[in-house]
Amino acid sequence: MRTLRWLLVPVLVLPITWLLFQGFGRDPRQVASPLLERPAPAWSLTTLDGEALSSEDLEGRPYVVNFWASWCVPACVDEHPVLAAAHESHGDAIPIIGVLYQNAPADAQAFLDRYGNAGYAHLVDERGSLAIDYGVTGPPETFFVDAEGVVRARQWGPLTEETMDAYLALITPATAR
């Protein structure tokens, strides 16, 4: 009985303590997206330039959906050149679609004026319904959709050149690279 009581410490207490400590290092919002390997949400919105754009216009091409905001500092500022560079090297072959997350169009425009406008489209998601369809918890968050319209990857937090290249490789056929 006495040894049994001492066994309680390694058998019960230690694993539970370990399990609880595991949680400290993780952001609870960083859960796996249920959208992965599923068809991407469809949308039809207006861009910052006032043009109509819908997911149907992108059919047959892989694309990147990047939720951002001018108030998302420094993360959105940090990843901004990464997105611009990707747009520069892939152009219309892999459209990048920015989506304003709880951001006034004027503020977003000021951000682009300040940090550089690479020229890809930014959607005004006024009600935030596209962010909800994508299950976004806060910017920056980026989704990678392949040519079949299936979500292949999600980046939670800012993109780096390395993560961008790795995710783009997931959505482009080997011959295209």
Partner 1 sequence: MRRWLPIIAAGCLLAVGALVVVGSLTPRAQPSIAERADALAAELRCPDCQGLSVADSPTSSAREIRRQIDELLAGGATDDEVRDHFVARYGNWIRLAPAAPVVWVLPFVVLIAGVGLLALWLRTRRTPIAGPLAAVDAEKRRRLREEVESLDA
Q: Which residues bind partner 1 (CB under 8 A)?
A: 28-29, 31-35, 102, 127-129, 131-138
The Cα–Cα gap between 135 and 96 comes to 19
- Kindly report the backbone phi and psi dihedral angles of residue 97, in degrees, each rounded to the nearest multiple of 5, phi listed first: -115, 115
User: Minimum distance from CB of 8 to partner 1 (Å)?
Assistant: 11
The two beta strands, 141-145 and 151-156, are antiparallel
Least distance (Å) from partner 1 to the CB of residue 44?
17
Which residue type occupies 99?
V
Output the smallest distance, CB 141 to partner 1, in A.
11
Nearer to partner 1, 81 or 138 (CB): 138
CB 41, min distance to partner 1, A = 8
Q: Which residue has the tokens 């935030």?
A: 128
Q: Closer to partner 1 by CB, 54 or 129: give it.
A: 129
Q: Which is nearer to partner 1, 29 or 114 (CB)?
A: 29
Question: Which residue number, 98 or 120, has a Cβ lying nearer to partner 1?
Answer: 98
What is the 3-class SS of 69-113, one letter each residue? Answer: CCCCCCHHHHHHHHHHHHHHHHHHHCCEEEEECCCCHHHHHHHHH
